[in-house]
Amino acid sequence: MTWEAILASLHLVAILTAVVFLSSEAALCRAEWMNAAVVRRLARLDMIYGLAALALLLTGIARIVWGAKGMTWYVSQPLFHLKMLLFFVAAILSLRPTFTIRKWLKALDGAGTLPQPEAVRAVRTWIMVQAHIIPVIAVIAVFWARGM
């Protein structure tokens, strides 16, 4: 039981870390606030968010493989598959902001240019879509935990 609690705790920490850093990205990614420091901070936040998402995936896999319920139980649950689908949708959606923010950082370091307001608004939209998918995953997890 202790091992299950450790795995669940690590998974929860990864979830909360991802939510905090994605929320920070969403709050900071605004055209009216854009300057060199913000571009650098966005790149750092995005990297931490990516690492937290990776930790979330790895701790989830650990729970499936070494957790008390076992892989057979997880893969037989329809809500598990829905959660995984939404997780991977959010992960795929995160690629565009990540690549764009990296491009902004490269342009800033190379030529000293800041992103255009339209580009900032577009990236913020992609980030916000991800930020709205994550609570849906949490709601699914609540129903799943209650035996639905």
- pLDDT tens for the chain, 148 residues: list them: 699 899 999 999 999 999 999 999 999 999 999 999 999 999 999 999 999 999 999 999 999 999 888 888 888 889 999 999 999 999 999 999 999 999 999 999 999 999 999 999 999 999 999 999 999 999 998 888 777 7
- Measured CA to CA in angstroms, residue 59 lies from 8, 67, 96, 99, 131 at distances of 8, 10, 25, 25, 20
What's the confidence (pLDDT) of residue 145?
Answer: 77
Asked if 46 and 97 count as a contact pair (C-beta separation under 8 A), the reply is yes
Phi, psi dihedral angles at 101 (to 5 degrees): -65, -40
Over the Cα atoms of the chain, what is R_g? 18
What's the confidence (pLDDT) of residue 67?
Answer: 84
The pTM for the full model equals 0.91
Asked if 41 and 108 count as a contact pair (C-beta separation under 8 A), the reply is no
What's the confidence (pLDDT) of residue 83?
Answer: 94
- The secondary structure element, H or E, covering residue 61 is helix 36-66
Asked if 83 and 144 count as a contact pair (C-beta separation under 8 A), the reply is yes
Burial class for 5, CB neighbours closer than 10 Å (0-12, 13-18, 19+): exposed
